[in-house]
Amino acid sequence: MEHQDVEALSMYGIVDCDNCYVSCERVFRPDLEGKPVVVLSNNDGCVVARSNEAKALGIKAGTPYYQLAELFPDEKIVVFSSNYELYGELTGRVMSLIAKDAPAFFRYSIDECFVYFSGFSGSYYKQWGEALHQKIRQGVGMPVSIGIAPTKTLAKVASHFSKKHSGYRHCCVIDTPEKRRKALSLFPIGDVWGIGRRYASRLEGLGVKTALDFADKSETWVNATFNNIVILRIWKELNGTDAVPNEQLCDKKSICTSRSFNGMVDDIESLRTHVANYAARCAEKLRRQNTVASIVSVFLHTNPFREDLLQYGNMQETRLLTPTNSTIQIVQAAHEVLEKIYRPGYRYKKAGVIVMGIQPTAPLQTDLFDINAESIQRMRRLDAVIDHINRTQGTETVVLGAQQYQQKNGQGKAEVFANAIKHDFRSKNSTTRWSEIIKLV
């Protein structure tokens, strides 16, 4: 087969925030530039984000926090707890700047988005990318890397080079057959977007070490070897053919919110509170993307590493008569499922909520035996007000009573508190909470 020429009238770009969580923390801490910085997972468990300086020290993603001092005793490593409220707000600012400059734009993840161009000349893309980086750096204070190419997969490859090599000035453009082949020859097959560990291992066993090795195979070989539409699309994209549908990037078939507990939980009331919080976050995510869900699933399990304890795990789901994104309805459904799967006598380490059967908010087909249209509109108005307050006054300013944790104080009385997550090193939310706004003395 004769491969398609990489030059095309249309081009894709991907804009990726560099070391996103660390960059967000550095926005209000410029003194941390050039220093090793790490961000921890929920409950301050392990390293999930690293600055370039931390990577250079040899800190690996997934390193448990308690091992950092032991592994790097002579290094002054700055540690932060995850602060998703801050990260979401700052990356939202980045996305708003991109949306103003991009001809077409769709967000892919918290720190990445694709842009689409059509009909521009070759020099335009490089100038656009460098100017956008400068605008985001000035407007938000975060660095981004930009890759531009005829397909989304090639744009991902270009983004990798713009991130790794300063000579690209934060923007790499693949716009000729020569550039495409050169880039793919330097790109390991395991790093190609969409090629997981299993397929990478299989390809390497077949002598395919680089992205170019794979791109140079024939379509007949790809089909005979894998018989997989996803792998075929990747092959086409590496050869310059736009083959990954936008819907594949944007549509989520399910949303999951889960977390390991800070310690272990054995009583149903504490589990109900955790599950209520997870269900509420799923509902918020549904509303944010203008979708509803028809299935609510809950899972929980004990700690598999504690062989000295009794082990148990379960997962069940319930189907809603009318698909919804109402916090109240999804929390109620999650509690109903929890009641079915909870077993006393066990010490639980993790639980989670998954919403499935996701579809657009409109048109919505209601069930004859479910709540009426007036009740649906009333709950939508309530959720809209709560979302507005939480967006302007800070996350979880207003929550359901079921979302509030209780613990005993020194006098044996129950006290309500907002968050049972361990975050000893959390930074302030200076852009979303009046109580944490920066004060100049």
Residue 438, pLDDT score:
84
Mean pLDDT per 10-residue run, the chain (441 residues)?
47 95 95 95 88 95 92 94 89 92 84 88 88 96 96 96 93 95 97 92 95 96 93 96 72 78 87 93 90 92 88 91 91 95 93 90 58 74 85 76 64 52 84 82 71
Residue 236, pLDDT score:
96
Tokens of 176: 């000729």
Q: Give the DSSP letter string of 342-403.
A: --TT--EEEEEEEEES-EESSS----TTS--HHHHHHHHHHHHHHHHHHHHH-TTSS--GGG
Tokens of 3: 């491969």
Residue 135, pLDDT score:
96
pTM for the model stands at 0.72
CB-side neighbour CA atoms (13 Å) of 126: 10
> Would you mind telling me the total number of residues written for the chain in this entry?
441
DSSP run (H or E) holding 171: strand 171-173
Residue 43, pLDDT score:
79
Phi, psi of 437 (to 5 degrees): -65, 150
